[in-house]
Amino acid sequence: MKIAVFGGCNLDITARPRGAARARTSIASDVRFSAGGVGANIAANLTLLGCRTTLVTPLGKDPWGAYLKANLRRRGIAARTIPSARTGVYVAALKPDGGLLTGFCDMAAEAVTSGDIDGLRLDLASFDAAVIDANFSAATITHLARLCARAGLRYALEPVSDGKSLRLAGALAGCEFIKPNLSEAGLLTGQNRVSGALAKKCARLLAGRGAKNIVVSLGSGGIHVLSRGVEKHFTAPKVRAENVTGAGDALFAAFYLGLLKGLSPRRCALAGLAAAALTCRSEASVSGAVSAAVFNEPQGGPGNL
């Protein structure tokens, strides 16, 4: 399956303290850098799952841009790059258990225009599906959605973060799949006080705005799925997390590919959760352990994880 991914590609820097995290002081930590970015992570996972992926992303002519281009080549991802003044950077401050404390991003994708996209002269009809992440501006995202619709191309939306999720509003109608976390779902649907109990309401409201398949992520609490007439909560497997960065991207890739393959919502959900668990166990934002095996039935039959 050939999939075009429109999104961010940046340097990930993660800092995990060796003891309790405290404010306003220097803390001994394990600091690592790796290739990242939501779009790039999704493209990498789709490739591991057996797809041919093309990533459309801005990169600077700087050392980190060269590093990321080389990384994409090693992963077997075709790249259509848009020149940028600099390469984006994401810094994640982790908790001692590997969970995210806070993240800081300095992205380049917001500057990409509709003209930049048109200038690439992409043959969207040659792809089987597309992914659009919210690192681009709202106008560029809406333009991309229209291009996909004209080409008859199914597309999925990834909100990325609270601050960027509303950029997807103009592309919701007709999207094949969207995976917000609970906070992002609340923003997209105008729910001021979100809770686990409101995941179902948020999913239904997103469906009412034209999204065909919805997953509301609840982190370690699992996922709420509304897809093809199925509405169900799936529990996340318990794992010892090394780094949660990229887990949601792996879940997105596996669930979406399952949909494209015509698998049941349950199979898609279990595959997505399995891919996320493998990623949590990895120090990098993409785990080489992810493979098409995530679509296999888990031992014990068709029950929940």
Domain ranges of the chain: 2-17+30-291
Between 85 and 138, residue with greater pLDDT: 138
CA 58, CA 81: separation in Å to the nearest integer?
A: 5
Structure tokens at 103: 């993240």
- pLDDT confidence bin for 240, thresholds 50/70/90: confident
What pLDDT is stored for residue 225 in this prediction? 98
Residue range 7-47, pLDDT digits in tens: 999 998 989 899 887 888 888 999 988 888 999 999 999 99
Neighbouring CB atoms inside 10 A of 207's CB total 17
Asked if 35 and 11 count as a contact pair (C-beta separation under 8 A), the reply is yes
Nearest to 71 by CA among 47, 90, 101: 47
Query: Which structure tokens are listed for 222?
Result: 């699992």
- The letter for the amino acid at 5 is V
C-alpha 170/C-alpha 188 separation (Å) is: 11
* pTM of this prediction exceeds 0.85: yes
Tokens of 252: 């997105």
Q: Percent of the chain at pLDDT above 90?
A: 76
Give the span between the Cα atoms of 131 and 145, in whole angstroms: 10
Using CA atoms, how far apart are residues 278 and 239, in angstroms rounded to an integer? 9
- Note whether 236 and 216 are within 8 A (CB): no
Structure tokens at 159: 């909100």
**Residue 64 confidence (pLDDT):** 93
Question: Token match 């790039």: residue?
Answer: 40
Who's near 205: CB < 8 A, 6+ residues apart? 189, 190, 191
At the top level of CATH, the class of 2-17+30-291 is: alpha beta
